[in-house]
Structure formats: structure tokens, C-alpha cells
């Protein structure tokens, strides 16, 4: 690899012109500026006092010589770091891996191919491309210039490459030499593909550029497993970025991929409010579909309704309860207060039913129906419920009468809160020590009531219970929403528990759609979101069958805005295997660039700029820009 080579060295002979030009310019200076001057008769006698020799300024001569030298050099077509070219004769077959794992450092792959093209062009050899991922087909033969345009359009695909099919196509192509640009992964048929490539063989692969990652997301939480192709000798500092709407980066998590490991687990403890805004989590580098995970509906913001009954909408106890509920939910999302029937018509994900809102039976039936369909109902206890505990719309059966822990009738002290049971969806929240409950409704002891307990008092009696009902959930807080029976509503736990319940509202239980889902938002090979092509080849997916990423079903979000399901590429790819077996006849190369660069365009550009300078200088010498031009 020579540092500098000339493609037309004979043109350098023209440099002999430069000294001739120098001499000519010395002999013939440029025209001076001319002034018609009335004071001429005064000047006439002064001529003798002036110095006589009129010459071209030395800097102008230098400038012009440099311009001519640059032009001659450009004609000689110098190339820096010229590559060795492709061995053999005849057409060159370029096999390019462009399945999902090729997205890692794709630009470098393309740069390597582009660098190889001028050398092929100089030998007047044709280029045939064979991309390995469907639906891309072999292209060519074409010349090197067209090949440069073609490779700029090629993209990695968010599904696996198909080396078996590539082998079939390769057998139909005749070429003097083949170059395989590997992404570093091997499939069952890779060895056969390499055998089938015509002519001599060069395999381009290295561990620096071929670094595919696979990100698998735990379906319920923000925890991930990140896998890579090869273990590395040193710890690698990496980060995950969470993107909100419009692909705006919302948060970043730094982590270390430990040395010697091929996978790492990542738990992201993200604030609940931010969690609901996240659309996608991805590695910022390398950008690839397998390292990007769309999040699903359960992290989205959910609107909440509070039921009121028309009769006592203005009553003090209702207003007080609504006041505390609103304050708790304000930064969690929108809160609507209305009658049950009106709320049903709104797209709500959770409804809160405070005790002071007495509902007629018809409205209770509506509410029960809404829960069956997948709604999340949160009820609060109070005097009304205590008086009528035979209600059907409850997670646990209630005992008659309420428990009062204060006053003349009882001897027990007000009870503090106990630890949150481990199986509870509210597990992990901080329990304040100073909250006391003076009254509550009691659950009828039953075998299932333990596992339905979400919060409990010190003595083990449930404070919050919840149970699935149909597709939905009913939860009951066994005390009042306001300060009537306890000071629970003053505590931070009240706020956190309500928000946690609302954030669970869209996804209690494993939700599975039952009809086929049309594509809604799809990922490209770099993990960026795109809309489905109109009249494209993409098809709806059946969520009950296994998802297989393919040109017909790319990874992404399927369904409509109400009911949708995410299919991430990372969850649906087979384990990665590194390319190890390379035929003995093959020459191996890395993705290092030789830095080959044709210098002709730069030389011409520089000469043009200097030529402009020369024109300006010549005009200035003639006095175009100065004052003192006589009128004709």
C-alpha cells in the first residue's frame, strides 16, 4: 500500500511548463491601471524622480505558478493510500450480510465496500452484489460507479439473513472473485454458502466491527437481558436510552458489560411518571433493531375517573374525598369526576368509587360490566359500605359492621400500618410509621383473602384488597378516601399506592389479543420506528401463533391504538453463533480502511479558489477597486 500513487504519471511532465511561465510573466508585466488626469502637465516633469523597472509582482508570479502546478498534479490523478485491489480477473461478486446482526457498524461495512470499488473500476471489472437478507436480490453486473450508488441504497434488515437462499443464488452467478462481507454471525448454511461462492474468495470480518447485541425485555418490568456475540477482555461501559414520543431521548441508564461475559442483566428503576411516557428503550451504539425494545401499553399514561352521584355531588364529605383523591392523582394523569354512566363513555383505564357516592343499582351494574370488560375499579370504604356490606362488587366478602379502634366502646388503640405482603402488586412501597387507622371495614376470613391482601395493618387485618373480575380488577381500600376514618389520606403511601394501582390498570394478568393485529408501527434495521408501507408486503400477525420476524412481519407494534401488542426482534431471534469456519482457500481481511482517497477533486477545488484570487488581484492592480478613475 503506497502512501501516494499517480494514475497518470506521464502528465507530470507538464510541470516543465512552470519555469517557462515564470519567465514569460517576468517579461510581460500585467497592464497598469490607466487614469485620465487633468493635472498631467504638472506630472510630466516628475517622471525622472520615479523608479523605472516595471515588473510583475513576485507574489502574483508565485500564485500563478502554484495554480499551474496544481492543475498538472490534478491531471496526473494522485491517489493517497491506494489499495491493492481485488485479486483475479473478471467480474467481482460482493456478498453482503444485511440481516439484523449486520446493523452493528453498518456505516463501516459500507465504507469498506465503497473503498474497494475504485480499484475494481480501474481494472474495468464488473460488480455483482448479493445481499443475504430477503427480500433483497442479487444485482448486477454493473460498473463501479453504479455500484457506489447501489450500495448507498442498501440497508440492513430487521430480520435474519438467509444463507441457504443466498447459496442458491450464488450458484447462478459466475465471477472471477468473490468477497464475503460478513457480519460475524454464522448460520447452519454459512459454510455451504462460502463453498458455493465462485472464483477466489476473500472473507471480510473482524471482532471490532462485528459487534451485534440482542436486548431482551422482561414483559412485566423494566428489566432487560443484553447479549452479545463475543465476550470481551475488558469491562465495557455502555448505556441504554429510553425514548418517549417523537423519539425524544427521555432518560439514560449507564451500566457496565463485565469482561468475559456474553450477557448482562439490567434493571432500570425509572420513576413511574417517566415510565408511562416511554415508548422505546435502545442501545445508542450500536444502533440496531435487535438492541431496541418497544415498550407496551402498561407504561402508558392512564386517565382516571371518580364516580359521583347526582344527589350529593355537592355534599361536604364527597367534596372532601374528591379533594384528597385529586391531589394524589394530579401528577399521574387526567382525573374526571362524573356520574357512572358518563364515565363509561370516556376512555378510562381506572375508576375510583368513593364511599360517599351512592350509586343506584343500574349504575352499579354498568360499573360491574365495565370491570368485566377489563376496567380497573378502586373502591373506598366508609359509612355507606359499612351499613350495606353485602355489595357484590368487592374483592373480598365483608363482615357486618365496621371495626372502630377508638372511642368509649373499644379498648384497642388505633392501629398502625404493617408491612406490605410480598405478593402484593404494591410491594416495594415505603410504609410510613405514623399513619394510624381508627375505623375500617373487615374482610370475612376466607382462604383466598390472604393472597388478595395488598396492604395490611400491624395486626394483619387487610387495609387494601384486590381481585380480578372478568378481564378487569376490583380493589378495595378498607378505610375512607378522606380523613374520616384514618389519616391514611395524609400519607405519601396513599399517593404512591393510588398511582401504582392506576399504572397497573391496563395490564393486570397476561393480556393477549385474540384476533389478528395489523401492523401499526414498525422498526427498521437500525431500530428506528417507521409507519407500515401502504400496500406494502407487511401482513397482520396472529398473536396466538409464534412471531417470526420476516419481510412480511417485521418487528414492531401491531394492533390499533386501543388494543395492541409489541413484538420485539430481541425476543424472537435464535441464539447468536460466531463465524468460525472459514474455508482454507479464503484470504481473510478486517474492516480496517486503508484510507484510499483520490486527490484530484481537492486539487481542482484549490486551483479554482486560487484562480479566483488571481483574478481579484489582477483587477486590483488595474485599480478597479480603488478611487481615482477619470471619466472618459
Partner 1 sequence: MSDTLHSAAELAGRLPALLLEAERVAHGFMRGVHGRRRVGQGEAFWQFRPYAPGDARRDIDWKQTARRDAPFVREMEWEAAQTLWLWRDASASMDFSSAKNLSTKKETAEVLLLALAMLALDGGEQVGLLGTDLAPQAHHAAAARLAEFLPAQETFRSTRPIAARSQVVLFSDFFFPLEEVSKFISSHHVSGLLVQLCDPAERNLPYTGRVRFEDAEGDGHLTLPKAEEVRAAYAEKFLAHQRAVEGMARANGWKFLDFSTDVSRETLLAALYGALAEG
Give me the residues that bind partner 1 (CB under 8 A), please.
29, 32-47, 49-54, 621, 623, 626-631
CA dihedral 478, 480, 485, 491 (to 10 degrees): 100
Residue 425 main-chain phi, psi, to 5 deg: -65, -15
Nearest to partner 1 of 56, 404 (CB atom)? 56
Q: How far apart are CA 225 and CA 238, in angstroms?
A: 14
The CB-of-614 to partner 1 minimum distance in angstroms stands at 17
The CB-of-37 to partner 1 minimum distance in angstroms stands at 5
Q: How far apart are CA 596 and CA 608, in angstroms?
A: 23
329 to 54, 353, 432: CA distances (angstroms): 90, 14, 19
The CB-of-611 to partner 1 minimum distance in angstroms stands at 22
Nearest to partner 1 of 60, 94 (CB atom)? 60
The CB-of-613 to partner 1 minimum distance in angstroms stands at 18
Helix (H) or strand (E) holding 127: strand 127-131
SS3 assignment, position 246 = helix
Long-range Cβ contact pairs of 449-454 (< 8 A, separation 24 or more):
449/396, 450/421, 451/423, 452/395, 452/396, 453/421, 453/424, 454/420, 454/421, 454/424, 454/425, 454/426, 454/497
Q: How far apart are CA 575 and CA 325, in angstroms?
A: 49
Helix (H) or strand (E) holding 389: none
The CB-of-16 to partner 1 minimum distance in angstroms stands at 30
Is the CA virtual torsion 608, 612, 618, 621 positive or negative? negative
Nearest to partner 1 of 37, 427 (CB atom)? 37
Angle at 335 (CA atoms; ends 512, 477), nearest 5 degrees: 75
Q: In what order do the strands lie in the sheet with 4-6?
A: 4-6, 78-80, 597-598
The CB-of-620 to partner 1 minimum distance in angstroms stands at 9
The CB-of-58 to partner 1 minimum distance in angstroms stands at 14
What burial class does residue 569 get, using C-beta atoms within 10 Å of its C-beta: 0-12 exposed, 13-18 middle, 19+ buried? buried
Helix (H) or strand (E) holding 596: none
The CB-of-46 to partner 1 minimum distance in angstroms stands at 4
Nearest to partner 1 of 609, 620 (CB atom)? 620
β-pair partners for 337: 306
The CB-of-43 to partner 1 minimum distance in angstroms stands at 6
β-pair partners for 2: none
Nearest to partner 1 of 42, 233 (CB atom)? 42
Q: How far apart are CA 385 and CA 387, in angstroms?
A: 5
390 to 340, 351, 377, 382, 401: CA distances (angstroms): 20, 21, 17, 14, 11
The CB-of-64 to partner 1 minimum distance in angstroms stands at 17
Nearest to partner 1 of 49, 220 (CB atom)? 49
Nearest to partner 1 of 45, 534 (CB atom)? 45
The CB-of-67 to partner 1 minimum distance in angstroms stands at 22
Helix (H) or strand (E) holding 252: strand 249-257
Nearest to partner 1 of 319, 621 (CB atom)? 621
Nearest to partner 1 of 32, 423 (CB atom)? 32
The CB-of-32 to partner 1 minimum distance in angstroms stands at 4
Here the cell at position 291 is 438492541
Nearest to partner 1 of 41, 411 (CB atom)? 41
The CB-of-38 to partner 1 minimum distance in angstroms stands at 4
β-pair partners for 251: 242
Nearest to partner 1 of 29, 90 (CB atom)? 29
Q: How far apart are CA 103 and CA 290, in angstroms?
A: 9
The CB-of-28 to partner 1 minimum distance in angstroms stands at 14
Nearest to partner 1 of 245, 626 (CB atom)? 626
Nearest to partner 1 of 40, 411 (CB atom)? 40
Nearest to partner 1 of 310, 630 (CB atom)? 630
Q: How far apart are CA 425 and CA 176, in angstroms?
A: 65
Here the cell at position 325 is 383523591
Nearest one of 299, 438, 468, 461 to 377, comparing CA atoms: 468
Nearest one of 416, 413, 412, 388 to 402, comparing CA atoms: 388
Amino acid at each position: 500500500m503506497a502512501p501516494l500513487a499517480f494514475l497518470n504519471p506521464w502528465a507530470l511532465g507538464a510541470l516543465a511548463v512552470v519555469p517557462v511561465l515564470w519567465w514569460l510573466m517576468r517579461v510581460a508585466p500585467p497592464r497598469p491601471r490607466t487614469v485620465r488626469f487633468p493635472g498631467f502637465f504638472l506630472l510630466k516633469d516628475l517622471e525622472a524622480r520615479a523608479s523605472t523597472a516595471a515588473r510583475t509582482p513576485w507574489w502574483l508570479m508565485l500564485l500563478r505558478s502554484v495554480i499551474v502546478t496544481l492543475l498538472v498534479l490534478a491531471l496526473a490523478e494522485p491517489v493517497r493510500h491506494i489499495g491493492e485491489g481485488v485479486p483475479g480477473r473478471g467480474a467481482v461478486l460482493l456478498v453482503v450480510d444485511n440481516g439484523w446482526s449486520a446493523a452493528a457498524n453498518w456505516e463501516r461495512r459500507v465504507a469498506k465496500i465503497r473503498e474497494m470499488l475504485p480499484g475494481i473500476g480501474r481494472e474495468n471489472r464488473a460488480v455483482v452484489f448479493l445481499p443475504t437478507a430477503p427480500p433483497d436480490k442479487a444485482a448486477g453486473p454493473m460498473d463501479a460507479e453504479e455500484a457506489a450508488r447501489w450500495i448507498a441504497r442498501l440497508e440492513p434488515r430487521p430480520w435474519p439473513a438467509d444463507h441457504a437462499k443466498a447459496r442458491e443464488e450464488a450458484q447462478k452467478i459466475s465471477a472471477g472473485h468473490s468477497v464475503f462481507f460478513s457480519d460475524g454471525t454464522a448460520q447452519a448454511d454459512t459454510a455451504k454458502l462460502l463453498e458455493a461462492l465462485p472464483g477466489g474468495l476473500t472473507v471480510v470480518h473482524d471482532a471490532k466491527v462485528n459487534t451485534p447485541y440482542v436486548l431482551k425485555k422482561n414483559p412485566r418490568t423494566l428489566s432487560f437481558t443484553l447479549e452479545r456475540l463475543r465476550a470481551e477482555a475488558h469491562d465495557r461501559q455502555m448505556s441504554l436510552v429510553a425514548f418517549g414520543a417523537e423519539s425524544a431521548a427521555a432518560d439514560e441508564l449507564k451500566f457496565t458489560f463485565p469482561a468475559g461475559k456474553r450477557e448482562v442483566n439490567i434493571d432500570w428503576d425509572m420513576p413511574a411518571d417517566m415510565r408511562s411516557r416511554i415508548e422505546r428503550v435502545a442501545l445508542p451504539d450500536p444502533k440496531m433493531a435487535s438492541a431496541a425494545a418497544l415498550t407496551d401499553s402498561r407504561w402508558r399514561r392512564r386517565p382516571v375517573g371518580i364516580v359521583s352521584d347526582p344527589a350529593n355531588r355537592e355534599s361536604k364529605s364527597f367534596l372532601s374525598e374528591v379533594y384528597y383523591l385529586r391531589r394524589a392523582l394530579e401528577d399521574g394523569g387526567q382525573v374526571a369526576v362524573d356520574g357512572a354512566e358518563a364515565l363509561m363513555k370516556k376512555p378510562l383505564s381506572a375508576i375510583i368509587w368513593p364511599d360517599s357516592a351512592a350509586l343506584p343499582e343500574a349504575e352499579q351494574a354498568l360499573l360491574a360490566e365495565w370491570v368485566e370488560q377489563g376496567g380497573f375499579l378502586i373502591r373506598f370504604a366508609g359509612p355507606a359500605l359499612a351499613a350495606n356490606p353485602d355489595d357484590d362488587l368487592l374483592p373480598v366478602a365483608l363482615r357486618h359492621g365496621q371495626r372502630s379502634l377508638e372511642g368509649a366502646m373499644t379498648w384497642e388503640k388505633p392501629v398502625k400500618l404493617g408491612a406490605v405482603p410480598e405478593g402484593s402488586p404494591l410491594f416495594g412501597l415505603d410504609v410510613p410509621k405514623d399513619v394510624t387507622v381508627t375505623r375500617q371495614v373487615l374482610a370475612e376470613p376466607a382462604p383466598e383473602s390472604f393472597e388478595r391482601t395488598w396492604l395490611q395493618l400491624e395486626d394483619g387485618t387487610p387495609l387494601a384488597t384486590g381481585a380480578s373480575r372478568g378481564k378487569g380488577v376490583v380493589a378495595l381500600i378498607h378505610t375512607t378516601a378522606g380523613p374520616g376514618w384514618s389519616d391514611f389520606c395524609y400519607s405519601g403511601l396513599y399517593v404512591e399506592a393510588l398511582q401504582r394501582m392506576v399504572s397497573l390498570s391496563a395490564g393486570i394478568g397476561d393480556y393477549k389479543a385474540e384476533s389478528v393485529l395489523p401492523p401499526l408501527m414498525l422498526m427498521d434495521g437500525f431500530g428506528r420506528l417507521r409507519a407500515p408501507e401502504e400496500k406494502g408486503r407487511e401482513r397482520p400477525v396472529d398473536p396466538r401463533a409464534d412471531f417470526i420476524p420476516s419481510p412480511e412481519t417485521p418487528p414492531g407494534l401491531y394492533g390499533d391504538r386501543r388494543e395492541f401488542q409489541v413484538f420485539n426482534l430481541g425476543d424472537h431471534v435464535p441464539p447468536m453463533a460466531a463465524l468460525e469456519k472459514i474455508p482454507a482457500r479464503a484470504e481473510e481481511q478486517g474492516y480496517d480502511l486503508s484510507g484510499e482517497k483520490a486527490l484530484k477533486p481537492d486539487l481542482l477545488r484549490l486551483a479554482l479558489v486560487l484562480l479566483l484570487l488571481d483574478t481579484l488581484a489582477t483587477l486590483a492592480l488595474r485599480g478597479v477597486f480603488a478611487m481615482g478613475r477619470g471619466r472618459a
